[in-house]
Each structure stands twice: as C-alpha cells, then as structure tokens.
Amino acid sequence: MTKITTENYVAEARKAIKNQVLQRALADLQNRFGRGTAECYRQLPEGPDLRLKAHEIRMKTIENLDVVLETLAANILKNGGHVFFAKDSRAAVDYCLEVARRHQVRRVVKGKSMVSEEIDLNAALMDAGIEVSETDLGEYIIQLAGETPSHIIAPAIHKTRNDVGSLFAAKLDIPYEDDPPKLTWIARKALRQKFLAADMGTSGCNIACAETGHITTVSNEGNIRMSTTLPKVHMAFMGMERVAARLEDHDILLRLLCRGAAAQNMATYVSYIGGPRQADQVDGPQEFHLVILDNGRSRILADAEFREMLCCIRCAACLNVCPVYAKIGGHSYGYAYTGPVGAVVTPLLVGINRAKDLCLGETLCGACQEACAVNIDLPRMLLALRAKLAEGDPAWGVKPADRKEKLLWQAWSMMIRKRTVYDFVLRLAALVQKLMPQRDGMIRRLPPPVSGWTQGRDLRPLAKESFIQRWRKGF
Amino acid sequence: MSNEQPVTLFIQCIVDTHYPAVAEAMVRVLRRLGISLTCPGDQTCCGQPAFNSGYRRQARTAAQHFIEVFENSEIIVCPSGSCVNMVRHHYAELFQNDSQWLARARNLARRTYEFSEYLVDVLRVEALGARFDGRVTYHDSCHLLRGIGVRQQPRTLLQHVSGMDFIEMRDSDYCCGFGGTFSVKYPDISDAMVTDKAKNIMATKADAVVGCDMGCLMNIRGKLSRLGSDIKVMHLAQILAC
Amino acid sequence: MGTANQKEFINRIKMALGKPFAESRQKADLFNSEMSAESRAILEHIKNRNAAERKKLLETLIEAAGPINLQVISCDDISAVTGAIAGLVRAKDPEWGDQKSVVAWAHPLVERLNLPAALSEQKVPMFVTGSKSTADEDLRQQVIDAYIGITSADFCMADTATLVMRARPGQARSVSLVPAIHIAVIKLDQIIADLKELFALLKWDPHERREGLTNCLTFVSGPSKTADIEATMVHGAHGPREVHLFVISA
C-alpha cells in the first residue's frame, strides 16, 4: 500500500505555498490547461453540455457494472487474454508478481497509471528484485528523484528545467544540460534502452469497452504504446469502474477525456488493446493480462450518496481549475489522487477521519464541477463527507471529528432561533471586540479559535448597531 | 415603475452585523424604484455556515426558523448570492426526508432572489441613474456565479453607472479564499488565495472593487487593508446608491 | 483461480447495487444489438460521399494537422509519393547510429510505391514486416534499426487528423512507433470525418465489422510529444519525432 500521508495536509500545504517555483508552475498550469479545457468544451459541436450526456452514460454503466464487467472479461478471454479480478491492492500486486515470476521477468517498463500508484506496484516489484522503469517523462523524472507525482497528468510540474538538468547529470552520469528539448532527448535515449530490454510492460486503462473486449490507453509521448508493444508480457490495471458498455459510448467519453486532460481534441496516441499478439502477427506481447481492481470501490458503489464518484475518468481537469490545488499542489493530498477528485475519493478509499482535512480544506467554489469532463458534483460530495465528520457515521466507520466544535454549533443553533438571544450575543461580542487591537477602524488580531483570520488579514469590527436594529428604529 | 410588488429584505448576517451600510444602500436603491419594503425583525441566519461545516441538524434548525420568518413574503431579496444559493438549492437537500418542510422550502426558494438578479431579471431595470467617478473592477463570487448562475447582471448594472471606468481583473471568477469557516480553519491556504485576489485587483489600478457578496468582500477588504491598499471595497448596492 | 475470484467480485458489485435490482435488469438495455437509425444514417452518409465532400474532408484534415505538426502531403498519383519518400530518405539523418535503413508494412498500397527500387540508388535497404519467413527476433531488430517506418492505415479521421490502424499479419504495430520518422500513405477515400463515423463503421458496416477492432486498434495523431519539463512542448518523447502523411487523390 502506498504510504498515506493525508494527515499532513496542513503542513504540506504550508510548505507548498512557500515554494515559489511550485507556485509559478501551478499558476502556469492552470492558466494553460484550466482555461484551455473550458475553451475546448465551448468549441464542442454539442457545447459544454455534452458533459451532462457523458454523466448519464457513466451512471448507466456504473449501475450495470456487474453485467458490463462480466461482458468485458468474457470478450477478453475470447481474444486470448487473461483477466484477474482483484479484491484489493494485495491481490492485484500478488497476481502481478506471480505472472512476473512465471516469465522470469527482470525488467518492467511502466506506462503511467493511477491504479498502479494506488496499489504501490513499484515498491512490490522492486522488493521482488525486479527493475521498474517509469516511462512517462514526468514520472521518470519523479522516479529518478525518488519522489511522488504531484499532478495526475503533469506529475513533474514542481520541477524546473534546472532541477531536471541536475538530476539527469547526477543519475545518468552525463554533463549538465537544461534545455527542455535536449533533456527530453536524453530521457528518450535512456528509456529506449529500457523499452527494448524489458520483459514486461504495464499500463493503466482509461476506459475499457465491454462489448468489444478492449482496454484503452491514451498518451501523448508514446511510452504506453512502447510498454504495451515491445515486452513479451503486457499487464494492464484498471479500477473496476473504468469501463463503458458500448463502442458508441467511447465517442463522447474519449472526446471529453482528451479535452479535460490536456485541452486537446485528441491525444497523440490512443490504443484499443484486446488481447495478445495472434499467431500470424509479427509483434505485440505474447501474453495480455488485465487486472480489475475493487480496493474499496464496491463500498463507494453501495452508497447512493457517493456512487457518482465512480463516474470519474481521471482526466484531472478539476485540478487545473481548483484554486486550492493551485496553492497547495498535489503532495498535500497525501495519496495517489490529488486535487478535488482526491479530496473526495481519497477519504472514501483510505478512511474519512484520516483524511478529514481533504474534506474540509476547500472553499466549495464549484469550479471543479464546471471543469469535470463528466460533470460530477464534487462540492455536493465534499459537503456529504463533512456531514459524516460532523455527526459520525458507523456505516463508514466515521467518528465525529470535533466534539467541541459540535457543541459550538449546537449553541449557535439555539442562538439563531431567537432574535433576542442573537442580539444579546451580538452585544456581548461587541464588548469583547473592544479588547482587540485595532488600527484605522480594522481589527488587527483575533484570539483563538478565530485567530487564523487575522494571520494575514484585518477584520472589519461589528457595527455599533446592526441593520435590523436600525430598521426597527425606523430606517 | 409599474412593478409594485412589495419586497421583503433578507439581510445576510454579515451585512446585518458588520456592514449595515450595504443594507441601507440596497434599501435606497429599491425605494428609488418605488418599491415598498418590509424587513422581518426576527431574521438571523439562513444556516449556511453550519451546513457548509457539515452540521446539518443545526443548519436545519436555522432553515426552519428562516422559513417561518419569510414564509408569508411575496418576493424576498438578499444582497448575497451565497445565501440565495443556500435557500434555493441546499434547503431541498436539508429537507429531503421531510416532505412537509421540503414543500415549504421549495415554495420559498421560488420567491427568493439575489439583489442584482432581482433588478435585472425580474424588474428589468438596468440603468439606475447612479454616478461614480473612478475606475471599478468586479469580483465574481463563487456561489453567485456557479451556484445561481449570475454573471452578467451585476456587470450590466455597473456599465450603466455614469462616470465609471469599468475594468475586468484577471481571474475575476477565481475563488477569493473565503469559504466561510475555511478562512479560519485553513488560514495559510485561505491567505494565499486572497493574496492572489488582492494582487489581481491592485493590478487593475481600480479605485474600487465591487462584488455582490460581503463574505468575499470582507475577506478581500481584510487583505487589502493588511497590505495597506486604499482601494475601496464596495457592494454593488453601494455603487448603485451613489 | 480466476473464475472463483470473478464470481465473488461480481457478487460484491451486485450486493452494492442492491441485489433485486441487479437481477431484474435486462442485458439488452445496455448493448444495442440492433443497428440504430443514427448509425444507419452515418453509414449511408459515408457510402454516398461525393468527390467534393471528400476534398472537403481533406481540407479539414490539413487544417487539423497543422497545430499538431503532422505533415500532410496531397499527391495526385502514386509515383509522386514514391519520389517524395525517396526525398525524405535522402534528406533525413538517422537518429541512432549512422546507418540508414527503412522498414515498411507488407501492404498493397505500400508495395505499389515500389520503394526498394527507388531507394536502391541511395543504397538504403528496406525491410518489410511481411512474411513469417523472417524470424520475429530479426524482424524486431530491423524495426529497431530503421530510422523511417512506412505504413498505410485503415482510416484517417479528418476532424482530429488521426490515423487509424488495425493490427494485422504483416503490418507490425512497431513500424509506426519505434523508428524516428513515421511515413503513412493512404488514399483519399480512406478519410472519414470523426470518431462517430469510425465507430459506426467498425461496429455496423458488414465488411468492417468482420475484422472489428482486432486485438490492437491504434490511433495516431501527429508526432509523439511531451510538455513535462516546464510545460515546454517537445516532439519525439518516445514515439516518432516526425509524421508525414501522404494522401493519394487519384
């Protein structure tokens, strides 16, 4: 299991905010992709509302997931592939290791996949003495640096060209170079050797097609095609929800995926892979395995409030517009999934209490839903998660997060029921506020638990008289 | 003005307690249009702070109080998109398992409007004869924009103010980082967000930044004050009352 | 072990969906086994496309190719293509090492180019990933050594300038992937409008559906690219750095 560090949200966020390089990179990313994606949606012949249609398609699939997955599996078997249904990370990883052992795999090339991050495939393979090479350029940089990705689509945005130059010089034993085309070529050369030498290639799956029995892979670099074409074994990992029933569904979903992910009309490479090389074909892997992962997804499926989250196709469009992500970056989220999607899906996968800051640490601004390729109501689910944290929920094993806070809200609810009580509390507060240091009519410092406000801001004091009081006097 | 339907004022709690001048400006604008106004003295808070923090039981108490206070009003107008969003969209969620309250909440939601929305979409008023000499920029509040879909109405009203030089700021639709209790619970993040907002406002060299929600504006004002900027922070009603 | 796992896994999903509901559903709702009126209309539209409409599609293709740096060259006849490819072979330098060699699909259209003869004067060998007479390992090495790979395609989607290639004997997937430069040759009537047309053809056209998607259906839209270092766009991350598409009008 990947190290889960959701508890460090606040500390990591603070660190990220102070990192000027990261701040510039995040701003640039949002400027480019956030706005680009919105423009792409506007230019769709069907307009941005195509996302609503995509939502319907996704929901219908999710609500028939048992039938859809059985169809997918049957068709892949028919085409000579293998399908393994993995209940959890352990099962998925063990299956992969077992196949690797059978083929005496020594080197694996890895096409980017969120699920393999989720199950921490790299660590398991390396523990088994297998060399694992990330092949997406961003992921490769991250792997060389011994870090974790900070963005689903742009994993190395927190690195500058100088960082990459120094890293390559140190790890690849070459002279320092900081020109992006040259750095790209250096990685191209190094990874070409990895592709040619690998015994096994792994990939994720963007959206499988059940009726034809194919997984899809999408990339701009070509690393996933390399990983799934050259090695003798191809193993694909997919979250159990990443499937569509019909080929027709792929028209809408693929178009929205490419737009959401990188503001493109079409990624450079899209492959529909349905099995190993046939007897009369000259290349392609000799074995094809698909691992379908549950790992807590069936629990999400069972809860009507969160089922919608399984519509997600991991395009990361929500990251590119989220004003919180823009400040705190991916590492703060403490798990494979970052940004608004991470804020909802991570608590559901790793535990709501444990990831409480992910549920609470947003402003509910709604930009994520507007950007979502399949129009998932992420703010609604953030609110639902907060309700669980407030009251507790045995079904999800949630304990009330803060009993003192709950008492405060209880007191508040008594106060707002009666204007006379409300006015009395206002008068008290007006007295207390006289103790606060002020300048130019603004409060400069507040005491806990509201001291956070004045950490970087001033506060307008309470008015001498509320509007309602003035109205009563005949305004 | 032919529309003589009386309006009931729904005063956002922040306006009521910190910014009564905003409510007064709204009153002046509406009276100028010949609208008769009432303002229930029992109103307190719509319940949004509790709802957004997950305390739905407490939010329900607030919502019930709100419904009882406003139920007999024909038209309810509020100087905050966020509060209107709460009444219009989230009350239904709060009462999803209580058909009686749900019906009452829905009935009320249909008659509740945000100030600029009410002027432009209901009264069909765009020019109010206001004058403001200076450069003005506008901040889109999240719940106003994405919650109840109000983007153009405030801009239309501003463009009819004489003497004004209107300028769009960069990322006007980016959240200012207020987020209710978020601003106190996650001050580092909130501060980083409002710092960006303040920079974008200052870059316009505007004399005033205008918005339709005092939650955001209190946050923005607090930051500008701390940065020593003298850019005025004004609710739309205050400009229109000039 | 697979089937037991599967049963347990699917049962968990059924439970999550609510069992009575799960069992009452009809499979037919999900997978349309009859061609819809919309699909029929799309197929009709493709079949009845006239010359002017085809030209229009070519224009759309060229327009879409620009921003993704796909070079589209429209040629009136096949000899012009042969000449242009020979020119490319002469002009371009190999990326790895200094030996020039070319690898190509065994494909009727590629064969008609008569490239081995055209390249012989430059003394550049051309290997064909055709017969199984060459051992797979040797074939693999020929692809790795080549700096130019030449293929055709099943279709080209004009809307996004996307080549669509199915996996077939003699038509190695790696030819469009491993060499530094990919050259594709198609005929004008292979251009279709978009994904909708493609999927309608693959699923419902009586001729195309026999083959279906094959075990590997690949879309290629221009050269390989990355923007992973400071968001700077660079071509040739892992796949070809250049893609040239020849469209034969005649």
> Residue C21: is its pLDDT beyond 70?
no
* Interatomic CA distance for residues B177 and A453, integer angstroms: 11
Which of C43, C131, C229 to probe the A interface (max A CBs under 10 A)?
A: C229
Whether B and A touch, i.e. at least 3 CB pairs below 8 A, reads as yes
Contact residues, chain A, for B186 at CB < 8 Å: 10, 13, 357, 360-361, 452
pLDDT digits (tens, 9 = 90+) for B14-52: 999 999 999 999 999 999 999 999 999 999 999 999 999
pLDDT per residue over A457-469, tens digit each? 999 999 999 999 9
Angle at which helix C195-204 crosses helix C37-47, to 10 degrees, equals 100
ipTM: 0.97
Strands B37-38 and B75-78: unpaired
Cβ neighbours for A285, distance < 8 A, ≥ 6 positions apart: A201, A228, A229, A231, A232, A233, A234, A276, A277
Residues B93 and B33 in one domain: yes
Do B106 and B182 fall within a single domain? no
Judge residue A347's burial from the number of C-beta atoms within 10 Å of its C-beta, 0-12 exposed, 13-18 middle, 19 or more buried.
Answer: buried
Cβ <8 Å between C177 and A87: no
CB B1 within 8 A of CB B35: yes
Contact across the interface for A269 and C218, Cβ inside 8 Å: yes
Residues of chain B numbered 155-214 and touching chain A (CB < 8 Å): 173-175, 177-180, 182-195
The parent domain of residue B205 ranges over 126-240
CA angle A209, A212, A216 (to 5 degrees): 40
Nearest by Cα to A367 from A321, A312, A313: A321
Question: Domain span at residue C124?
Answer: 35-225+235-248
Q: Which residues of A touch B182 (CB under 8 A)?
A: 360-363
Selection from A460, A435, A347 nearest residue A398 by Cα: A347
Does B1 fall in a domain? no
Tell me the C-alpha distance between B180 and B192, whole Å: 15
* Cα radius of gyration (chain A): 25
**Which chain A residues touch B219 with a CB distance below 8 Å?**
457
In a domain, C196, yes or no: yes
d(CA B12, CA B4): 24
Per residue of chain A (475 residues), give pLDDT as tens.
468 999 999 999 999 999 999 999 999 999 999 999 999 999 999 999 999 999 999 999 999 999 999 999 999 999 999 999 999 999 999 999 999 999 999 999 999 899 999 999 999 999 999 999 999 999 999 999 999 888 888 889 889 999 999 999 999 999 999 999 999 999 999 999 999 999 999 999 999 999 999 999 999 999 999 999 999 999 999 999 999 999 999 999 999 999 999 999 999 999 999 999 999 999 999 999 999 999 999 999 999 999 999 999 999 999 999 999 999 999 999 999 999 999 999 999 999 999 999 999 999 999 999 999 999 999 999 999 999 999 999 999 999 999 999 999 999 999 999 999 999 999 999 999 999 999 999 999 999 989 999 999 999 999 999 999 999 999 8
Question: Do B60 and B45 fall into the same domain?
Answer: yes
Do residue A364 and residue B47 have CB atoms under 8 angstroms apart?
no
| CB-CB neighbours of C41 under 10 Å | 11
Burial pattern B22-56, b for ≥16 Cβ within 10 A else e, equals bbbbbbebbeeeebeeebbeebbbbbbbbbbbbbb
Q: What is the CATH number of the domain that holds C158?
A: 3.40.50.10420
Last residue of a domain, one of B60, B93, B120: B120
Same-domain check for residues B236 and B130: yes
How close is the nearest chain A Cα to the Cα of C166, in Å? 9
Give the DSSP letter string of chain B.
------EEE---HHHHHT-HHHHHHHHHHHHHTT--EE--TT----SHHHHHTT-HHHHHHHHHHHHHHHTT-SEEEES-HHHHHIIIIIHHHHTTT-HHHHHHHHHHHTTEEEHHHIIIIIS-------EEEEEEEE---HIIIIIT--SHHHHHHHHTSEEEEE-PPTTTTS--S-TTTHHHHSHHHHHHHHHHHHHHHHHTT-SEEEES-HHHHHHHHHHHHHTT---EEEEHHHHHT-
Whether residue B40 is found in the same domain as residue B146: no
Q: Is the pLDDT of residue C136 over 90?
A: no
Q: For tokens 């923090």, what's the residue?
A: B53
In whole angstroms, give the CA distance from residue A389 to residue A383: 10
Q: How many domains does chain B have?
A: 2
Q: Residues A110, A143: contact at Cβ < 8 Å?
A: no
Residue B150 in any domain: the answer is: yes
Domain count, chain C: 1
Q: Hey, is the C-beta of C69 within 8 angstroms of any chain A C-beta?
A: no
Instruction: Check CB contact under 8 Å for C218 and A281.
Output: no
Same domain, B201 and B134: yes
Q: Calculate the CA C235 to chain-centre distance.
A: 19
B225 and B151 fall within a common domain: yes
CB contact under 8 A, B222 and A462: no
What is the CATH number assigned to the segment(s) A39-48+65-298? 3.40.50.10420
The CATH number of whichever domain residue B169 belongs to comes to: 3.40.50.11810
Q: Which of A176, A189, A222 shows the shortest CA–CA distance to A203?
A: A222
Give residue for tokens 């009586």.
C206
